[in-house]
Amino acid sequence: MVSALGKGLSALIEDITPDENFSGYNILIKNISPNKHQPRQKFNKEDMDALILSIKTKGILQPLTVRQLQTNNYELIAGERRLRAAKHLKLKHVPAYIIKIKNDAEMMELALIENIQRVNLNPIEEAEGYLILREKYNYNQKLIAENVGKSRSEIANKMRLLSLPNKVIDGLNQNKISYAHARTLIAINNDKLLIKVYKQILIKKLNVRQTEKIVKRLNAVKLRAGKNRDTINLFKYEKKLNEKLNVPIKIVASNDDFHGKISIRFQSQKELDRLINLIIEE
């Protein structure tokens, strides 16, 4: 299944026996239930308006993808935006491919792939999708990367966004800052200082390069402040721990003497048990 998912939905659709009239089926919209694994939580109004206009004038050119639950009862796999647009236009039917899905993990994978390949997910929504694959379906970063067609480092970077303060996460969700800004801010290990830099980005409208210079300067000062601090690279250790434990890690060190704390974020009892087992085994 990994090779097919890595290529996207088309790799699965090729194996479908099409209806003799066209390469899919016409399905009543009322018979399609939403995808409970839909990673996208926000839909850009301008993009939706453009899609509605396109469907109104040209129809749905790319069929939706569904799986059959019962006779005349289907669950959406991919095509949330197209389905919403069709409902807005009060259409009765939509063209759709029907494919077989083994389990809910594949549903989540395909929903992620469809969104990533068609209209980019918000980075936080994408990270939360990866988190579900990891926590609910026990996927490690390597397996997630293979299935969604991205590098392991990209998966790790996206998931590290979840360790940012809520205020910054909200700003990223609202497009106040870019993904590149957020990635740069992750390197700041003090949340209060991170928030200050975040506010400066908004007030002064700093670009990514300007933000990188500020963060680099701040980290250079911190490295010189304590004993042997010039030999310590907290960001490097955070990355190593993140790759090993597969969770957001935050290392905070003092400025007066070299001591601090390691913060490990977990989302459930199951995740906590997994982390404890990993640490004890090591």
Active site residues: 80
Q: Cα separation of 101 and 2, whole Å?
A: 13
Largest CA distance in the chain: 75
Residue labelled with tokens 């236009």: 89
Q: Are 9 and 78 in contact (CB under 8 A)?
A: yes
Degrees to nearest 5, angle at CA 271 with 265 and 277:
105
Per-residue b or e along 153-176, where b marks 16 or more CB atoms closer than 10 Å to that residue's CB: ebbbbbbbbbbbeeebbebbeeee
Kind and range of the H or E element at 221?
helix 208-225
What are the beta bridge partners of residue 260?
A: 253
Q: What is the Cα gyration radius of the chain?
A: 22
**Tokens coding 55:** 């469907």
Q: Which residues lie closer than 8 Å to 187 by C-beta, 6 or more apart?
A: 215, 219, 235
Distance CA(97)–CA(234), nearest Å, equals 49
Question: What's the half-sphere exposure (Cβ side, CA atoms, 13 Å) at 168?
Answer: 27
